[in-house]
Amino acid sequence: MRLALEGSQVVLDAARRKPGRGAWLHPRRSCFDAAISKRAFNRAFRGQVDVGHLSFEELSTVSGHGSPVGE
């Protein structure tokens, strides 16, 4: 799934049309958790970004990607 910036907030770009630098993330909970804990979005967007509002459940529901069983 593609994520993009709106101001300083990271948001889902389900249509993949938002302008600017995007970050791609595999639609698995383990990948999401690793990206959050390693501050990967700060590196991807080359600066401080706000990810406090992100939740895997919301992203996977909106993007249409479900989490495989056990993840």
Q: What pLDDT sits at residue 64?
A: 72
> What pTM was computed for the model?
0.81
Q: What is the DSSP letter of 22?
A: E
Query: Contact, 57 vs 28, CB < 8 A?
Result: no
pLDDT higher than threshold 90 for residue 66: no
Query: Contact, 14 vs 1, CB < 8 A?
Result: yes
pLDDT tens, position by position, 5-55 = 999 999 999 999 999 989 999 999 999 999 999 999 999 999 999 999 999
